[in-house]
Amino acid sequence: MSEAIEAFISKVFKEALSGPRIFKNKNVLFHDYIPDNLPFRENEIRKIAYLLSNLLKGYRSSNLFIYGKPGTGKTAVVKYTLKKLLSIANEHGKKINVTYVNCRLAGTEYRVVASMALDVGVSLPFTGLSVEEALSRFINKVTSDQLPLLIVLDEIDSLIIRYGDKLLYTLTRFSNDTNNAIPYMIIGISNNLTFKEYMDPRVLSSLSEDEIVFKPYKPEELEKIIEDRTSLAFYPGVVDKDVIKLVASLAGAEHGDARKALDLIRMAGEIAESENYEKILVEHVHKAYSTLDRERLIEAISTLPLHSRLILLSLYKLLKNNNGTVKSSYLYTVYQRYAENITKGVLSYRRFLGLLSELNVLGIIDRKLENYGRRGGRVSLVRVSIPIEYLERVLREDPIIGELFNVGP
């Protein structure tokens, strides 16, 4: 390790012990923190608590569908109410089987079921069983337990769009079909409503027996939320009112996203700390705002598959000296040369197109169809839609792509 790196690490660690202290408890600014107080969501909490109370009484409850834009507090409110439910159930010696699964993070239908099974005490193998077998083991366990069952499926849209509503159909029906019917409730949470078209109307009406829509926070509500959270996260005097107002207005511009606001104030705090300030300044918030998007983008690129990064390298080489566009077929030939250089396998043109589509969706590139008629045909033109220096930085730092950076195609 170089002396410069050792000196840097030593400086950072010493400053951590002796430098200005800004954060009292940084954990409260992360997304998974559930606060004791959730302002402006009292009505939603009341409604969910009322429905959940049926399970405590041993009744079946209406299923609930929760919808709202990202950062409107859906997951936090559900988790908060669940925490209270379990704590009170515990106090009164009542037991409830509760499973919470984020369907997008779980990834596949099988993993959703495996995660549900694990929550009720059944460990399923990573692979090797059919979804039907996994589901049957889950159902056997919850029916043999004879306890009220609560299933929370967060980001349920990603499951339905990819796999259809078969799993949900089984879950909304199983308790009625068995001789050992148990009281149960299903809560589905989603950021968008477009997935409804993928569902059988019977399953949809069963899931949406009750519905709650979470409206975006207003700027003044965001301000109060940030104020509450910063009082826990930072030492007194670190965050001024004007900083809170600025964070609220920047996050408010993006559909009242509380998560974005918390990310922003956390990063502003980190910048202030790294620059040895004792309080967060307005400039730190502006710096954090521009850094946040750039860091996300850089992380997104560096975690792409190798061939996607090779495509970006080819694109960078073709467009680094101009802000123009390149034909996808020409981009493919350049990609082929790099791919042959680094790996034995060159992807088919069809797969290449698929990766281009993914890069387009991520907002890293931009594709436009142009028509040059009978002679030229229909052509897809590709350009980089992020600052080229961001792309250069990520590609240069990439352990594999970096090796090719100074090599021509």
Residues at the site binding DNA, with contacts judged by CB under 7 A: 107-111, 125-131, 305, 307, 327-329, 345-351, 353-354, 356-357, 367, 369, 371-380
Report the relative pairing of strands 378-384 and 184-190 from DSSP bridges: unpaired
| Burial of 372 per CB tally in 10 Å (0-12, 13-18, 19+) | exposed
| Residue 107 CB, nearest approach to DNA (Å) | 4
Asked if residue 69 lies in contact with residue 193, where contact means CB atoms within 8 angstroms, the answer is no
Q: Closer CB to DNA, residue 92 or residue 344? A: 344
Asked if residue 18 lies in contact with residue 276, where contact means CB atoms within 8 angstroms, the answer is no
* Phi, psi (degrees; rounded to nearest 5) at 247: -60, -45
Alpha carbon distance 74, 38 (integer Å): 11
Q: Distances in Å between the alpha carbon of 130 and those of 114, 279, 350, 383?
A: 11, 56, 30, 43
| Residue 123 CB, nearest approach to DNA (Å) | 10
User: Where does 179-305 have alpha helices with state H?
Assistant: 201-207, 219-233, 241-252, 258-274, 282-302
Q: Closer CB to DNA, residue 237 or residue 345? A: 345
| Residue 230 CB, nearest approach to DNA (Å) | 38
Nearest-5° angle of CA 147, CA 167, CA 176? 45
| Residue 162 CB, nearest approach to DNA (Å) | 9
Q: Closer CB to DNA, residue 158 or residue 175? A: 158
| Residue 129 CB, nearest approach to DNA (Å) | 5
What is the Cα 172 distance to its own chain's centre? 26
Containing 405, the helix (H) or strand (E) segment is none
Dihedral angle computed from the Cα positions of residues 391, 396, 399 and 403, in that order, rounded to the nearest 10 degrees:
120
Q: Closer CB to DNA, residue 5 or residue 361? A: 361
